[in-house]
């Protein structure tokens, strides 16, 4: 095994070889990097469980790291914090090694990655094109393999646009999932800390670590995160066996680059091939909500964050950023009140549209096209506005999203996003895996490396009223359960229809050597706390015992007390509860 000094030197060598100085604002000195690697080695040797041991990461420079300047892309604004932001500290505590602070669109205002006195961050594949912002440096650092992970922030799409333009994964979690303490606000009501990685699995592993002990006060209500704690009762966390995914109606895609349209359709086809039902919905209320972010009263929040400082230091501010934020200086309070009311109305419309369609997710192109640096220079505000058409609404409507690569277009990365209601983060990640063309080009983290709770989830085989679409399935999804697979038992069981309300079957294992049947089951993963609560509430005659599957493995699952089967209708020949209900 190489020494900490050698591993630190290797990180520095990769960064130097990439020759992308505009990616970084501040880097950790190589000696400090080696010391951090050695400290992680010592913690591992001492028996500490570190889910991110040795993973390198970068931090967008509007997030505080004690001892390193926070500039927000503006040198005159810089200050050196004494406290590290909880999100950064969580990664450090999990064994990740900080490499440095990354460049950004100044004051996190932009989706292009060009609005910085530290230099425009060029695209990882084509240096003549934009990298996407405002988390430009973080996205490119991951795409070039300079770090394993990076933190960004996302208010209008900054955790997703760089992912699309650079061929990586970007997760924008539910508001309040990750603490924004120690993050310079852009629009404080809508800001999120986001994660970049080269695979969904690694991004989720980091996100599970980032989940704080409690939601932020301005978060999405009472819901805790869907990785470590019991989710709120209405959180749509369990992915259905046959998910319904909404797609945009063709009229909403006018103006999207033809190649991007083709790449989007390929992702839609992959979702259908993976068992999803795809339906078309009206995108107008989503897009109208998105326009409120920069064309309405919510822009006042950007001025509230840094406007007074900018007024006092006009020569130190990027002209485009100054024009955008300064334009909110005289917005009337009535405008914010009116737009807040309109946003609530649009959110209700969106929820009704998804509910009517039965959709748990919306798939969209992450961006409509990929501009060059020259195009942005000619029309910096207009091009930027077009890039946010499919991303701006997500935080305003209190949704979460996962951006993943789809088929490249003309040799350049392209991507799609899976977007869903607050606290459906796991659902979107599952569906993003199905939609992606390639979420791990370097093989650094397998796609099945699911970010699990600190204690492994408990598998549970269900056979009846708890199956997807059945009346008691919510008892699993309410506890944060996730569907893993559909299979059958070994052919040693008998299934009977019980006289219960709601109707449910009973599964009974036969004596060795007796003829039985293979019964359809779904295997779910249930968080430990939710599993204990679920079992405690289980009514007779149902019981939990070991169920042998067709592949010979055994998992906890639903069985039935034998006396309840006396006189019950034997439905073993149907092969399962759903075929029986369908008349099989």
Residue 146: per-residue pLDDT: 97
Q: How far apart are CA 63 and CA 101, in angstroms?
A: 9
Paired tokens of 306 = 């840094």
DSSP category for residue 267: H
Question: What single-letter DSSP state applies at residue 174?
Answer: P
Q: What is the pLDDT of residues 150-173, one digit of tens each?
A: 999 999 999 999 999 999 999 999
Catalytic, 504? Answer no
Q: From the candidates 60, 101, 172, 504, which is the catalytic residue? A: 60
Length of the chain: 584
Contact 195, 159 (CB under 8 A): yes
Please state, in angstroms and as integers, the Cα–Cα distance from residue 480 to each residue in 119, 168, 227, 318, 426, following that order: 44, 27, 8, 45, 9
In this prediction, residue 524 carries a pLDDT of 87
Cβ atoms of residues 218 and 421 within 8 Å: no
Residue 403 · residue 160 · CB < 8 Å: yes
Q: Residue 109 half-sphere exposure, CB side, CA atoms within 13 Å? A: 30
User: Taking a C-beta distance cutoff of 8 angstroms, is the pair 249, 310 a contact?
Assistant: no
User: Alpha-carbon distance 450 to 426, whole Å?
Assistant: 10
State the pLDDT at residue 229.
33
Kind plus residue range of the DSSP H or E element containing 464:
none
Torsion-angle region of 565 (φ positive above 0: left; ψ -120 to 50: alpha; else: beta)? alpha
Residues with Cβ within 8 Å of residue 45, at least 6 apart in sequence: none
Nearest to 564 by CA among 509, 503, 505, 521: 505
- Which residue in 131, 135, 158, 437 is the catalytic one? 158
DSSP H helical ranges for 274-410: 284-295, 300-312, 319-326, 333-357, 373-378, 380-387, 393-396
Active-site residue flag, 116: no
116, 131, 134, 136: the catalytic one is 134
Is the previous residue joined to 502 through a cis bond, with omega within 30 degrees of 0? yes
Helix (H) / strand (E) element for 273: namely helix 258-273
Query: What gap in Å lies between CA 387 and CA 294, rounded to an integer?
Result: 13
Closest CA to 442 of 164, 136, 201: 201
What local confidence, expressed as pLDDT, does residue 468 receive?
84
- Which strands make up the sheet holding 569-570, listed edge to edge? 504-509, 493-498, 569-570
Q: CA-to-CA distance for 560 and 573, rounded, in angstroms?
A: 18
* Domains identified in the chain and CATH numbers: 4-435 (3.90.1300.10), 458-581 (3.10.490.10)
Could you give the residue ranges of the DSSP H alpha helices within 105-160?
136-143
Helices 258-273 and 425-435: angle between axes, nearest 10 degrees:
110
Task: List own/partner pairs for 213-222 with CB under 8 A and 24 or more apart.
Answer: 215/176, 215/177, 216/175, 216/176, 216/179, 216/180, 216/181, 218/175, 218/176, 218/188, 218/189, 219/174, 219/175, 219/176, 219/177, 220/174, 220/175, 220/176, 220/398, 220/422, 220/423, 221/422
Contact at 8 Å (CB) between 389 and 157? no
Residue 248 tokens, joined? 């945009």
Q: Are 557 and 461 in contact (CB under 8 A)?
A: yes
Distance CA 356, CA 432 (A): 22
- Is-above-0.85 flag for pTM? no
61-78 burial: b if 16+ Cβ within 10 Å, else e? bbbbbeebbbbbbbeebe
Give the pLDDT confidence score for residue 557 in this predicted structure: 93
What crossing angle do the helices spanning 30-45 and 4-18 adopt, rounded to 10°? 140
> Which residues of the chain, if any, have pLDDT below 70?
1, 212-238, 240-241, 438-456, 480, 513, 529, 584
* Phi, psi of 406, deg, nearest 5: -115, -170
Reply yes or no on whether 424 is catalytic.
no
CA dihedral for 424, 425, 431, 436, sign (positive or negative): positive
Tell me the average pLDDT of the chain: 89
Q: What is the pLDDT of residue 501?
A: 84
132: left (phi over 0), alpha (psi -120 to 50) or beta: left
User: What whole-number distance in Å separates Cα of residue 226 and Cα of residue 207?
Assistant: 10
Helix or strand (DSSP H, E) at 564: none
């Amino acid at each position: 095994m190489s020494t900490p000094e050698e591993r630190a030197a290797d990180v520095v060598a990769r960064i130097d070889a990439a020759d992308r100085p505009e990616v970084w604002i501040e880097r950790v000195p190589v000696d400090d990097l080696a010391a951090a690697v050695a400290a992680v080695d010592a913690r591992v040797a001492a028996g500490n469980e570190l889910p991110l041991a040795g993973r390198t990461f970068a931090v967008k420079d509007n997030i505080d790291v004690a001892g390193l300047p926070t500039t927000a892309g503006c040198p005159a604004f810089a200050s050196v914090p004494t406290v590290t932001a909880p999100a950064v500290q969580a990664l450090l505590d999990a064994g990740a090694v900080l490499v440095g602070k990354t460049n950004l669109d100044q004051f996190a205002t932009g989706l292009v990655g060009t609005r910085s006195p530290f230099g425009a961050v060029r695209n990882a594949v084509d240096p003549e094109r934009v990298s996407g912002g405002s988390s430009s440096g973080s996205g490119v650092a991951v795409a070039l393999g300079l770090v394993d992970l990076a933190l960004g922030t996302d208010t209008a799409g900054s955790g997703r646009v760089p992912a699309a333009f650079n061929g990586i994964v970007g997760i924008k979690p539910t508001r309040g999932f990750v603490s924004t303490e120690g993050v310079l606000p852009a629009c404080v009501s809508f800001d999120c800390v986001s994660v970049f990685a080269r695979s969904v699995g690694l991004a989720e592993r980091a996100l599970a670590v980032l989940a704080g002990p409690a939601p932020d006060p301005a978060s999405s209500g009472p819901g805790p995160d869907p990785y470590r704690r019991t989710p709120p009762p209405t959180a749509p966390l369990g992915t259905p066996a046959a998910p319904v995914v909404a797609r945009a109606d063709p009229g909403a895609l006018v103006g999207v680059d033809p190649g991007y349209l083709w790449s989007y359709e390929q992702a839609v086809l992959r979702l259908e091939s993976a068992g999803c039902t795809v339906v078309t919905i009206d995108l107008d209320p989503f897009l109208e909500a998105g326009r409120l972010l920069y064309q309405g009263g919510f822009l006042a929040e950007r001025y509230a964050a840094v406007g007074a400082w900018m007024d006092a230091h006009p020569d130190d501010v990027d002209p485009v950023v100054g024009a955008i934020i300064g334009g909110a200086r005289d917005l009337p309070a009535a405008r914010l009140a009116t737009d807040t009311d309109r946003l609530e109305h649009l959110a209700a419309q969106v929820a009704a549209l998804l509910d009517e369609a039965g959709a748990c997710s919306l798939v969209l192109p992450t961006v409509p096209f990929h501009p060059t640096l020259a195009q942005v220079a000619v029309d910096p505000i207009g091009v930027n506005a077009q890039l946010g058409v499919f991303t701006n609404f997500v935080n305003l409507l209190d949704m979460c999203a996962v951006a993943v690569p789809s088929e490249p277009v003309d040799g350049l990365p392209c991507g799609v996003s899976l977007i869903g209601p607050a606290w459906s983060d796991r659902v979107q990640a599952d569906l993003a895996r199905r939609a992606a063309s390639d979420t791990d080009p370097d093989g650094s983290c397998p796609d099945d490396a699911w970010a699990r709770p600190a204690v492994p989830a408990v598998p549970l085989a269900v056979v009846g009223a708890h199956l997807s679409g059945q009346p008691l399935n919510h008892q699993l999804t309410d506890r944060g359960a996730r569907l893993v697979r559909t299979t059958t038992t070994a052919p040693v069981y008998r299934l009977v229809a019980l006289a219960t309300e709601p109707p449910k079957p009973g599964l009974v294992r036969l004596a060795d050597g007796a003829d039985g049947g293979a019964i359809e089951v779904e295997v779910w993963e249930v968080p430990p706390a939710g599993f204990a609560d679920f079992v405690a509430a289980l009514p007779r005659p149902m019981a939990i015992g070991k169920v042998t599957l067709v592949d010979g493995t055994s998992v906890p699952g639903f069985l039935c007390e034998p006396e309840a089967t006396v006189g019950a209708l034997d439905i073993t020949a149907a092969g399962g509860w759903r075929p029986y209900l369908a008349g099989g």
